[in-house]
Structure 1
Amino acid sequence: MKSSEVDILIVPGWLDSGPGHWQTRWEKNLKTAQRIQQPDWKTPDRDAWVKSIVAAVEQTERPAILVAHSLGVIAVAYAAAQLPAGRVAGAFLVAPADVDNSTDWPENDGHKWPAENFGFAPVPTEPLGFPALVLAANDAPYCTQARAEAMAAAWGAKFVDVGQAGHIAEEHGFGPWPDGLLKFGKFLADLKS
């Protein structure tokens, strides 16, 4: 598949993706990409986030590709069972947030993740039902690589170790993320039309 043949749905995580974040850049540069807007980025409600993802997939005209980051990955895992059959061609899942082990998460832009997890814990462990690729760093602050690999296995996804990359976000030097774009292009190319 090519990016022109799919509807790319950008699924940011907690607090949204800022103007220099790779997701924002991809949204601007990939013609078929659009961001899924959530009702509240600071105090996310799992059910509301899932509903937004399902609605966005239902509105696609071509096969949907979900491009999620951080808490967006967990929201996609929760939404998977509710997505219309056959509408999602694949999911590119970057730096999942381990909501089951969030007590040691660092502060993010002056915000501390609350103990109640906004309903996102536990991490879903059912297969997604569509091809997926989980990418995670070995020094990620929100999820150990072992946990990310376990999530990928549970979801039936392939796993890619991106090395020393932190949270694969702007603050860790991943604004443009050209290597990620190459990996995304290969992921699309490997999907069956």
Structure 2
Amino acid sequence: MKPEQVLLLPGWQNSTEGHWQTEWQAAYGYRRVEQHDWFTPKRGDWCARLEDVVADSDGPLVLAAHSLGCVLVAWWAAHSQHVHKVRGALLVAPGDVERDDAPPQIASWAPIACQPLPFAAIVAASSDDPYCTPGRAAELARCWGARCVDIGAHGHVNAASGLGRWEAGHALLRSLMTDGGR
């Protein structure tokens, strides 16, 4: 696949320097889907932006989402007319916006769309993610029809996790590009 066929979908507050998404963008030329407002995200606005980017893209596409970006993928897939352009999605450290202590900026994203995704998907879950328990990540993977992979103790799998280019995650992404994530 061409680099522009991989779309990076950061979560709330974007992915900063040292985050695996930023590292992948620099190393592989993947395209970040830029949002109008990273700090007060509106689900409808983010979905409309993703819909525009996918509609204007040649398929097949692979999505690499983090945190709130995973919730975005599920909601978008439930409403899009362009899901046929997506080959697969790597959903890393999904943010549980339904938990009682969800920040008010993202609590309005509840409920999480919970239906099988119309493309192959892998949920990569950390065993010590402060924003989504392993059990909840497995539950989301089941409702999305995704394979759930326990990646060990890496917090929220963000810049603070110190993963850098995160080659193990990139291998999961490449598996979606070649064999549908099996």
TM-score category (smaller protein): over 0.9
Residue 150 (structure 1) aligns with: 139
Q: Given the superposition, is the C-alpha separation of residues 170 and 102 from structure 1 closer, same or farther in structure 2, using an over 3 Å criterion?
A: farther
Cα shift readout 1:147-172 (whole Å, capped 9, x = no counterpart): 01100100111110001111111101
Mapped contact 1:6–1:62 kept (Cα < 8 A) = no
Residue 16 (structure 1) aligns with: 14
Mapped contact 1:9–1:36 kept (Cα < 8 A) = yes
183-192 or 121-130, which moves further after superposition? 183-192
1:96 corresponds, among 94, 114, 117, to: 94
Q: Which amino acid aligns with 1:17?
A: S
**Alignment RMSD:** 1.8
Describe how 1:99-118 pairs up with structure 2 within 5 A.
Answer: 99-103=97-101, 113-114=103-104, 117=106
Residue 43 (structure 1) aligns with: 40
Sequence identity (%): 39
The number of aligned residues is 180
1:5 to partner: Cα distance: 7.8
Cα shift readout 1:101-141 (whole Å, capped 9, x = no counterpart): 150x6xxxxxxx21x63521111111111111100011101
1:173 maps onto 2:171 in alignment: no
Corresponding residue SS for 1:37: coil
TM-score relative to the length of structure 2: 0.92
2:77 corresponds, among 76, 80, 85, to: 80
Residue 110 (structure 1) aligns with: none
Q: Partners of 1:99 and 1:40 in 2: how far apart?
A: 18
Structure 1 gap segments, 5+ residues each: 106-112
Q: Partners of 1:5 and 1:21 in 2: how far apart?
A: 18
Structure 2 gap segments, 5+ residues each: none
Cα shift readout 1:38-78 (whole Å, capped 9, x = no counterpart): 11000100100111111111111131111100001001111
1:58 maps onto 2:55 in alignment: yes
Residue 180 (structure 2) aligns with: 191
1:182 to partner: Cα distance: 1.9
Q: Partners of 1:5 and 1:18 in 2: how far apart?
A: 20
Corresponding residue SS for 1:80: helix
